Amino acid sequence: MKEQVAALDFGSSKVALAVGKRAGAGIRIVGYYDAPSAGIECGEIDNDFKVAEVVRQLVEQAEKELGEKITEASVGLSGRVLHRKEQTSTVKRKNANLSIMEPEVQQIIRSQYDTNVGEGEAVFEAVPQRFSTEDRIGITKDELIGMIGAEVEAEFVLFSGRKAILDRRLRVLEECGLKPYKAILAPVASARAVLTAREMENGVALVDIGKGTTEVAIIKDYIVRHAAVIPFGGEAITTDIKTDTGITRQWAENIKILQGRSCEEYAIENRKLVLKDENNNVDFEVDLMLLTRIIEARMSEIFDAVAYVIGQSGYDNRIPSGVVITGDTSHLDNILQLAGSLLGRKVRLAAPQSSITDDSSEYAFDVYASTAVGLVLESLDPKLSNSIAYDQDLPKQPVEQPAEPEPAPPQPVKRGGFFGGRKGGKKKEDDEPGLFEEWFGTVKKEYLSTDNSA
C-alpha cells in the first residue's frame, strides 16, 4: 500500500502537480504547484518538449520545498472526445467452491483494459456497473466478494479515447525521469475531490469547466455511470470577448476573470470598463452590459451541452443531488444562477474541502486544484476509479467476450436550448452557428453511433 504519491493534471490552461500522503484516516496534500500550460490544447499534448519543460520545473520546485525525491506520478486523462461502450463479460471459474476474493475481481476488471475499442483507441476507464452469479443477479463488487459460484458475469461501461493521449503523457513522464503509477480519467478525479458521500450515493452530475473543455461525470451509488467531454470551455468566452469588442486576447482574459458576470439580469447598466496601457493612457473602453451578454451567451451554450449529456445518459431523473460545478472557469459571478435556470435543478459550486485533511496545502482547496487533488485521492484510496497501477502484476484470467452487437441507429433527440428557447443567454441573430450546435453535430455523428444506452 502506497503511503505517498504525486499526480499531474495536464490542463489546457495549466499543468498542475499535487503531492499527497496518508495521514491517519485521511489524505493530506503536502504540496500543490501549477504553471501555465505550453503545448496542450483541449487536454491533448501536441508539443512534448514544451510540456516536459513545465513538468520538470514543477517537479524541481516540489522536490526543493518538500525535501523529497519524486520518482513516479499518476496522470489525468482527458481530450476532445470520450467514447462510451457497454460490455458484458463472463468468467468461468476453475473452482466453483472457492470464495470470490478481491484479486480475482481485479483480474476481471483489468482484462477490460485490453478490449479492442477501435483503431488508435484505448480504454481509459473500465467501470463495473454490476455483477451476477448463479445465485445473485445485479450485485455490487463488495457484495460479490466472499460468494461462490461456477461463473461470474460482469457488466461494464468502458470509456475510451485516442491512445495517443495516454502515450504522450507517458512519454513526457519518461522524458522527465518519472515512472507512471496510474492513469485516471480526469472528470472521475474531479468528482472524487469535490463531491460529498451523500451526493455520490444518491446521484449527482459533476461539471468541470476548464479552459479548453468541459467535463461531465454522473455518479450514483459510488459508481461512474456516465462521462463525457464537451470540447469547449472558458477559452471560447475569451475568444468571443476579443472578437466582439476588438480588444487583445490578454485584455479579454483579464476582464473575463475580474469583471465577468454570467447573467445579464445582474449586470451593471450604463457602466464602462476603462482599459489603460502601461503609460496609464486610456487604451479602450468596454461596456459592462455588452461584456455580460457575451459571457452569458457562451456559458449558456456550455450548459446546453451539459443538459444534453445528462439527458443522453439515462440518468436525467436519477440525480436528486443535482449538479456540482468546479474547474478553472467556475469562478464567474452568477454562474450558479444561470446554471440553475438552464438545467432546472439545484446547483452548487465546489472545491476540494472535506476530501482532504485540514492541514493540506492552502492551494489545494481551490477550484483550480480539483483534478490534481482528485488524482492523488484516487491513486491512494480509490473509490470511483478502477485504474490499475502500472506496477501491479496481476495474472490475466481468460474472459469470454460476447460478439459485437450491431450498433443501434441514433434515436430522435428532443432539442432544447438554442433549438427551442430558454430563460438564459441571448444569441445574436447574426451570430455564426454556436459551439453547442457545432458540437452537437459531431456528437450525433460520432458519439450517438456508439452504444450509449444507460
- In tens, the pLDDT along 279-315 reads 777 777 888 899 999 999 999 999 999 999 999 999 9
Residue type, 66: L
Q: What's the confidence (pLDDT) of residue 435?
A: 75
Picking from 15, 89, 19, 16, the residue whose alpha carbon sits closest to that of residue 48 is 15
CA distance linking residue 259 with residue 333, whole number of Å = 8
What share of the chain has pLDDT > 90, as a percent? 77
Q: What's the confidence (pLDDT) of residue 451?
A: 46
Range in 113-117, 298-302, 362-366, 386-390 the model is least confident about = 386-390
In the chain, the domains with their CATH numbers are: 83-162 (3.30.1490.110), 197-349+411-454 (3.30.420.40)
Q: What is the mean pLDDT of the chain?
A: 88
Q: What's the confidence (pLDDT) of residue 409?
A: 46
CA 386 to chain centre: 15
Q: What is the mean pLDDT of residues 57-85?
A: 96
Name the pLDDT band for 272 (thresholds 50, 70, 90).
confident
pLDDT at 398 over 70: no
Q: What's the confidence (pLDDT) of residue 237?
A: 97
Name the pLDDT band for 379 (thresholds 50, 70, 90).
very high
Picking from 445, 442, 436, 446, the residue whose alpha carbon sits closest to that of residue 415 is 436
What share of the chain has pLDDT > 70, as a percent? 87
pLDDT at 50 over 90: yes
> How much is the pTM?
0.87
In this predicted model, what pLDDT tens digit does every residue of 135-187 receive, in sequence order? 999 999 999 999 999 999 999 999 999 999 999 999 999 999 999 999 999 99
| Contact in structure between 370 and 351 (CB atoms under 8 Å) | yes
* C-alpha distance from residue 219 to each of 208, 316, 345, 381 (Å): 14, 12, 16, 17
Q: What's the confidence (pLDDT) of residue 443?
A: 65
Q: What's the confidence (pLDDT) of residue 283?
A: 72
Selected residue with higher pLDDT from 454 and 150: 150
Q: What is the mean pLDDT of residues 341-357?
A: 96
Q: What is the mean pLDDT of residues 67-86?
A: 96
Name the pLDDT band for 274 (thresholds 50, 70, 90).
confident
Q: What's the confidence (pLDDT) of residue 392?
A: 64
| Contact in structure between 354 and 365 (CB atoms under 8 Å) | no
Q: What's the confidence (pLDDT) of residue 329?
A: 94
Q: What is the mean pLDDT of residues 379-387?
A: 95
Cβ atoms within 10 A of the Cβ of 71, count?
11
Q: What's the confidence (pLDDT) of residue 90?
A: 95
Q: What's the confidence (pLDDT) of residue 87?
A: 96
CA 154 to chain centre: 25
Q: What's the confidence (pLDDT) of residue 393?
A: 52
Residues 6+ apart with CB under 8 A from 168: 44, 45, 48
Name the pLDDT band for 410 (thresholds 50, 70, 90).
very low
Query: How many residues are there in the chain?
Result: 454
Range in 331-335, 338-342, 409-413 the model is least confident about = 409-413
Range in 111-125, 248-262, 436-450 the model is least confident about = 436-450
Picking from 398, 396, 374, 395, the residue whose alpha carbon sits closest to that of residue 182 is 374
